[in-house]
Amino acid sequence: MKVFYTFFKYMFLFLIGGFSYYFLEIAFRGYSHFSMIICGGLAFVLSGALNQWSHFEMSLISQMFLSMMIITGLELVTGLIVNVWLHLNVWDYSAMPYQFMGQICLLYSVLWMALSLVCIFVDDLLRWKIFKEEKPRYKIL
């Protein structure tokens, strides 16, 4: 029963994060791709779980920085699969400064860091209110 509950919890969080990112992209770019549901879901679960899985109380700034690294890494892997390998051309950052292979760039990494704060708060709120986990406490630095 515990395995089913844990699976349900993470699938719920995955779908919240994935579809939120998918619809956020549609709102700002006018379109998205189903691969963004997968990338966004993984990013949401991993970013939200940082403070759950760590053996010490992680500061909010540290969690945001690590989330930025996770999200940028997921974006790179997703981009290499959908844009380079499958040639779907979902996005291309080639014209952006400080980009790598057109798949990631510094500007969006900074944006992911800011967006991760929202993800951290929403994940904590969902875990607290829906899954009856510990009430979130935050240490800024």
Per residue in 82-105, pLDDT tens? Answer: 999 999 999 999 999 999 999 999
- pLDDT (0 to 100) of residue 121: 96
How far apart are alpha carbons 39 and 98 in whole angstroms?
A: 22
State how far the alpha carbon of 36 is from the alpha carbons of 43, 61, 96, 104, in Å: 10, 25, 20, 14
3-class SS of residue 104: strand
- The percent of residues above 90 in pLDDT, for the chain, comes to 91
Residues 8, 38, 93: CA angle, nearest 5 degrees:
155
Give the residue-averaged pLDDT of 15-35. 96
Residue 105: in which H helix or E strand, if any? strand 104-105
User: Per-residue pLDDT for 51 more than 90?
Assistant: no
How far apart are alpha carbons 55 and 58 in whole angstroms?
A: 9
Per-residue confidence band for 1, with pLDDT thresholds at 50, 70 and 90? confident
How far apart are alpha carbons 21 and 18 in whole angstroms?
A: 5
Q: Mean pLDDT for the chain?
A: 95
| Ramachandran angles phi, psi of 99, nearest 5° | -105, 165
For strands 104-105 and 99-100, give the pairing.
antiparallel
User: Per-residue pLDDT for 54 more than 80?
Assistant: no
- pLDDT (0 to 100) of residue 48: 93
- pLDDT (0 to 100) of residue 57: 84
Would you list the domain boundaries of the chain?
A: 2-129
Interacting residues of 106 by C-beta distance below 8 A, sequence separation 6+: 96, 97, 98, 99
User: Per-residue pLDDT for 52 more than 90?
Assistant: no
